[in-house]
């Protein structure tokens, strides 16, 4: 059942919130020992929320857009009184004393905060393998990775444990795992959703967004998450449209841009074929297809790994063992305290990125790397601006390959970084992007179709995605667990 239908049923009282919660908990018990999507899920906490919601009057239920719907939370979004670790040893024992803005909004909307999902440490990775807590499996093939960094969030929805979850996307961390797990993952425009309470990886790129089985559910959740926040000055004042109304319009009159730079060598032929089929389907539904060029795409990965690591090196500097999280017991003096704590607390990928980021900001290298990356970022934005003069949205594959095997790329950071090659540009340009299931490979692995929109063009993406799903049933496929 979709979150949309579930909410209706719960509001009407046909189904008790507690009953629904128990059904999800039993699915969790059945499958999560195999999938390992969650790093924490306390049955009592879930049922306590459910009971409280069941006590609300019919009138109170009506106004709650997510009444009784469980939403899983990525381990980098702060929930008051709950441990939040970013899947890192260094934040072990850190309990957030406040709610992220999105958490307050979920509570207000009557959602059940349903456990914390696994992720790459500090959201740095594309396979959830850098988590210090556990490895999450792809529900479609337990030997494969679910994508990352929001691998747990994607897998929790794909394995039917929750109808909705929220993740964060810095370079593709929502869209890539959504593609690899066969669910919908939406990264909003930078500034559409408040970042307050999201533990920062790269502040100018991070955005929180929804995971769902279908686009309509994603629209429902985004509707709750989006909007201005006085606690986040980078969050936009732009009015939030009614996403659920927007999705019902047909696609005639819309033009899709197909960037030649995204259909490159190295892309898996099956992925390419599925995406092209989907494009043909959109054309059939009345979308005009046009070629566009995004000439600076080739610099996306290198630009991203300068900007993102530079910001990360600064954002992660606060984990010094002085105030919270772990503190090395062996340290003899202050410098040693920093050194030991960070050596013991961070994993290899995080250390690699902190060093890279520190390097690109260092005196003598700043101009050649960081400053240049900022300039390229501007050029990439211009590429999109130019393309959007001709087209309403852009269609690309989400990931160049389907889910790969666990361990396959872990020792080769560069090849791992390339799995975000199609998603990174939207972050650098601050644009909304969504991944929608568009079929399965012969090995029964999901393929994702990415739609990239204009700034604050969420409505168009949701409309196109929903209409596509009305005409197809890729999103109705489920893994056998």
Active site residue ranges: 74, 149, 173
Q: Is 91 in the site for other proteins (CB under 8 A)?
A: yes
Q: Is 367 in the site for other proteins (CB under 8 A)?
A: no
3-class state of residue 434 by DSSP:
strand
Q: Which of 204, 344, 470, 477 binds other proteins (CB under 8 A)?
A: 204
Residue 318 vs 405, nearer CB to other proteins: 318
Q: Is 22 one of the binding residues for other proteins (CB under 8 A)?
A: no
- When asked if residue 263 is in the footprint of other proteins (CB under 8 A), the reply is no
281, with CB counted inside 10 A (0-12, 13-18, 19+), is: middle
C-alpha distances (whole Å) from 94 to each of 38, 84, 451 are: 18, 6, 37
Closest separation in Å from C-beta 84 to other proteins:
7
Question: Distance (Å, rounded) from C-alpha 218 to C-alpha 215?
Answer: 5
Which of 158, 150, 164, 183 shows the shortest CA–CA distance to 20?
164
Q: Which residues pair with 292 in a beta bridge?
A: 259
Interacting residues with other proteins between 43 and 62 (CB under 8 A): none
Q: Does 436 bind other proteins (CB under 8 A)?
A: no
Nearer to other proteins, 206 or 459 (CB): 206
The span of 77-85, 130-138, 157-165, 420-428 binding other proteins (CB under 8 A) equals 77-85
b vs e for 73-100, b when ≥16 Cβ sit within 10 Å of the residue's Cβ?
bbbbbbbeebebbbbbbbbeebebeebb
**Choice from 40, 142, 246, 338 touching other proteins (CB under 8 A):** 338
Tell me the two tokens of residue 68: 């009784």
Helix (H), strand (E) at residue 289: strand 288-292
By the rule CB under 8 A, 231 interacts with other proteins? yes
Residue 196 and residue 206: Cα distance in Å, rounded?
11
Q: Which is nearer to other proteins, 231 or 476 (CB)?
A: 231
Residue 358 in the binding site for other proteins (CB under 8 A):
yes
Of 149, 146, 73, nearest to 105 by C-alpha is 73
Contact indicator for 399, 176 with CB cutoff of 8 Å: yes
Smallest distance, other proteins to C-beta of residue 337, A: 9
CB of 419 to other proteins, least distance (A): 25
| Number of amino acids touching other proteins (CB under 8 A) | 43
Based on C-alpha coordinates, what's the Rg of the chain?
A: 21
* Site for other proteins contains 169 (CB under 8 A): no
Q: CA-to-CA distance for 407 and 68, rounded, in angstroms?
A: 38
Determine which residue in the list 52, 280, 317, 355 makes contact with other proteins, applying CB under 8 A: 317
Contact 292, 395 (CB under 8 A): no
> What DSSP element (H or E) covers 115?
strand 112-117
Stretch that binds other proteins, among 37-45, 283-291, 361-369, 471-479 (CB under 8 A): 361-369
Quote the longest CA-to-CA distance of the chain: 69
Which of 67, 94, 201, 468 is close enough to bind other proteins by CB under 8 A? 94
Q: How far is the CB of 316 from other proteins (least distance, A)?
A: 9
Shortest distance, CB of residue 29 to other proteins, whole angstroms? 30
Among 36, 84, 189, 401, the residue binding other proteins under the rule CB under 8 A is 84
Are residues 225 and 102 in contact, defined by beta-carbon separation less than 8 angstroms? yes
Contact flag: residue 324 with other proteins (CB under 8 A): yes
E-state strands within 141-224? 164-169, 184-187, 207-212
| Residue 323 contacts other proteins per CB under 8 A | yes
Interaction of residue 334 with other proteins, rule CB under 8 A:
yes
Confirm or reject binding of residue 196 to other proteins (CB under 8 A): yes
Interface residues with other proteins (CB under 8 A) are 76-78, 84, 86, 91, 94, 96-98, 100, 195-200, 202-204, 230-234, 310-311, 313-314, 317-318, 320, 322-324, 334, 338, 358, 361-363, 366, 370
């Amino acid at each position: 059942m979709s979150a949309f239908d579930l909410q209706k049923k719960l509001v009407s009282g046909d189904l008790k919130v507690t009953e629904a919660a128990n059904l999800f908990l039993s699915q969790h018990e059945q499958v999560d020992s195999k999938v390992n999507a969650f790093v924490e899920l306390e049955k009592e906490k879930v049922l306590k929320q459910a009971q409280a919601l069941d006590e609300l009057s019919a009138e109170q239920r009506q106004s709650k857009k997510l009444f009784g719907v469980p939403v899983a939370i990525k381990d980098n979004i702060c929930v008051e009184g709950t441990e939040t670790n970013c899947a890192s040893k260094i934040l072990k024992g850190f309990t957030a004393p406040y709610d992220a803005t999105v958490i307050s909004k979920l509570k207000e909307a009557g959602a059940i905060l349903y456990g914390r999902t696994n992720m790459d440490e500090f959201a740095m990775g594309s396979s959830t393998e850098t988590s210090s807590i556990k490895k999450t499996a792809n529900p479609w093939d337990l030997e494969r990775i679910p994508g990352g960094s929001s691998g747990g969030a994607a897998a929790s929805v794909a394995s039917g444990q929750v109808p909705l979850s929220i993740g964060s996307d810095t370079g593709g961390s929502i869209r890539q795992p959504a593609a690899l797990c066969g669910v919908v993952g939406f990264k909003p425009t930078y500034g559409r959703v408040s970042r307050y309470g999201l533990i920062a990886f790269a502040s100018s790129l991070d955005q929180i967004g929804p995971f769902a089985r279908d686009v309509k559910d994603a629209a429902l959740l985004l509707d709750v998450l989006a909007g201005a926040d006085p606690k986040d000055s980078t969050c936009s004042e732009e009015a939030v449209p009614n996403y659920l109304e927007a999705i019902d319009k047909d696609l005639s009159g819309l033009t899709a841009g197909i960037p030649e730079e995204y259909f490159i060598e190295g892309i898996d032929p099956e992925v390419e074929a599925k995406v092209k089929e989907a494009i043909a389907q959109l054309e059939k539904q009345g979308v005009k297809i046009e070629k566009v060029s995004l000439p600076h795409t080739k610099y996306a990965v290198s630009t991203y790994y300068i900007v993102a690591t530079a910001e990360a090196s600064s954002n992660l500097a606060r984990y010094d063992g002085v105030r919270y999280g772990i503190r090395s017991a062996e340290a003899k003096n202050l410098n040693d305290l920093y050194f030991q704590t960070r050596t013991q607390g961070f994993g290899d990928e995080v250390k690699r990125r902190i060093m890279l980021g520190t390097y690109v900001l260092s005196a003598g290298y700043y101009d050649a790397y960081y400053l240049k990356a900022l300039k390229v970022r501007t050029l990439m934005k211009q590429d999109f601006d130019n393309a959007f003069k001709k087209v309403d949205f852009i269609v690309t594959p989400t990931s160049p390959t389907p889910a790969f095997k666990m361990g396959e790329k872990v020792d080769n950071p560069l090849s791992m970084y390339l799995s975000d090659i199609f998603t990174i540009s939207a972050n650098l340009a601050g644009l909304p992007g969504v991944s929608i299931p568009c079929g399965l490979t012969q090995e029964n692995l999901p393929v994702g179709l990415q739609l990239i929109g204009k700034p604050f063009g969420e409505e168009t993406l949701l409309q196109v995605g929903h209409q596509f799903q009305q005409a197809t049933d890729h999103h109705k496929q489920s893994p056998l667990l």
